[in-house]
């Protein structure tokens, strides 16, 4: 059975899982408040997950975190697969 909650379009890699403000790794920056209605065994980042950094005491949603990485990597929704995938923006990048 699949998870019914909305996942972020971009799923951060293990190396990208760092606080966007102070660079803390996944020991200090992690999902503190997972969305309650997501499956317990779902390993994907959900838009509604609450992320928190214990080093700099900052918080953001899974959606905001994924969007920051997506912007940094200059990725846009793919027009050929109706936005379900991401590709490098070569026109504006």
- Tell me the residue range of the domain where 23 lies: 1-93
Domain count, the chain: 1
Query: Rounded to the nearest 5°, which phi and psi values hold at 70?
Result: -60, -45
Decide if pLDDT at 93 tops 70: no
pLDDT at 86: 72
Could you tell me the maximum CA-CA distance found in the chain, to the nearest angstrom? 41
pLDDT at 80: 75
Per-residue pLDDT averaged across 43-72, rounded?
96
SS3 67: helix
- Residues 60 and 51: beta-carbon distance below 8 Å: yes
């Amino acid at each position: 059975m699949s998870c019914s909650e909305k996942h972020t379009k971009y799923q951060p890699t293990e190396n990208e899982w760092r606080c966007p403000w102070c660079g803390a790794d996944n020991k200090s920056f992690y999902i503190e408040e997972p969305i309650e209605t997501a499956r317990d065994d779902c390993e994907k980042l959900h838009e509604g997950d609450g992320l928190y950094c214990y080093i700099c005491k900052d918080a953001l949603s899974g959606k905001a975190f994924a969007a920051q990485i997506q912007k940094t990597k200059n990725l846009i929704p793919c027009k050929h697969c109706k936005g379900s995938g991401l590709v490098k923006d070569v026109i504006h990048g």
